[in-house]
Amino acid sequence: MTATTLPRLAVTAGEPAGVGPELVARLAASDLAADLIAVTDRDLLSRAAAACGLRLNVIDDDGSRIATRAAGSVRIRHVPLGTTERAGEPDPRNARHVIDVLAAAADGCMAGEFDAVVTGPIQKSSINEGGIAFSGHTEFFAERAKADVVMMLASPELRVTLATTHLPLATVPAAITASLLERTLRIVAQALSTQFAIQQPRIAVLGLNPHAGEGGHMGREELDTIIPLLERLRGEGMDLLGPLPADTAFVPAMRDRYDAVLAMYHDQALPVIKSEAFDRTVNVTLGLPFIRTSVDHGTALDLAGTGKADPASLFAAARLALDLARHRPS
């Protein structure tokens, strides 16, 4: 990417039987200032465009850089389906297609062919039923890139990161170790600095227990683990606030004091950001050697094939990917 060429965004359609292909078609029909490369099956994209009443100019991607893109024009990195999709009915025979799409996007980013990848929603159950062990986008990209990663949910008003993700609540306390928190905070601080162009990132860290443990009366994780770790990292110059009680950390008066929040577990913070900005919230994977953003919703199988799915989250993910690509050091 140069000052005179457009960022090359790889966009994956996700589950072929879901709304992802239609969302990609709507993104391609927009005037977004990006060189869009749809990593998907050519005929799948054409059928999705037809379902939305759109006509796209689909061109094979030759890897070249372009300075302009007309609305409705999209380049394609063709990855064939295993079998023709049926809207709303995921088929395990397409599991390999979904994995090959993600691999092509990740490998293209690491090779410098793409400036970022924006991912559409997938149906994890269908991939596993196809005989491929799969736990999610984040884990797939982390393994592909051999990287330690952190999940961030970002909206225009708030950035939330997670120390633990999809764990049963009963197992969370044992998972909150000093080494986990240190690794996570270092990844978050580095990403805020290099990707979000925040020179001195301020991170608010939530306590695990109600009222951040209330001085040990509601649990000792804060006293024994979180506070000593934060004090040590502050000694290195990191700007860390907390541990804060989760019930007051998100009030408007607090938000000017931090650039991102580190929550201890999934449901401690995600309901806040999703209730405020569900259609503007973007999933970002921090710690990868490339930029990855994603929609923050599922495959919406009941809407697939109708052309009525709301593309707002994919548009938000694409816009954030563009912003991050522009901030990324060359």
| Preceding amide of 156 cis, omega within 30 | no
138 labeled binding residue: yes
Sign of CA dihedral 108, 161, 165, 17: negative
Return phi, psi of residue 103, to 5°. Answer: -65, -40
97 labeled binding residue: no
Tokens of 208: 């695990």
274 labeled binding residue: yes
Place of tokens 């449901």: 267
Strands (E), 70-156: 73-78, 116-119, 150-154
297 labeled binding residue: no
Tokens of 1: 């990417």
Nearest to 161 by CA among 200, 192, 137: 192
Place of tokens 């490998």: 107
93 labeled binding residue: no
d(CA 251, CA 249): 6
Residues 194 and 237 sit within 8 Å (Cβ to Cβ)? no
283 labeled binding residue: yes
Nearest to 230 by CA among 200, 202, 198, 190: 202
d(CA 121, CA 81): 16
d(CA 295, CA 260): 19
Tokens of 216: 């040990």
Return phi, psi of residue 89, to 5°. Answer: -130, 85
Tokens of 314: 């994919």
78 labeled binding residue: no
- Cite the annotated binding site for substrate by residue number: 137-138, 274, 283, 292
- Cite the annotated binding site for a divalent metal cation by residue number: 166, 211, 266
- Cite the annotated binding site by residue number: 137-138, 166, 211, 266, 274, 283, 292
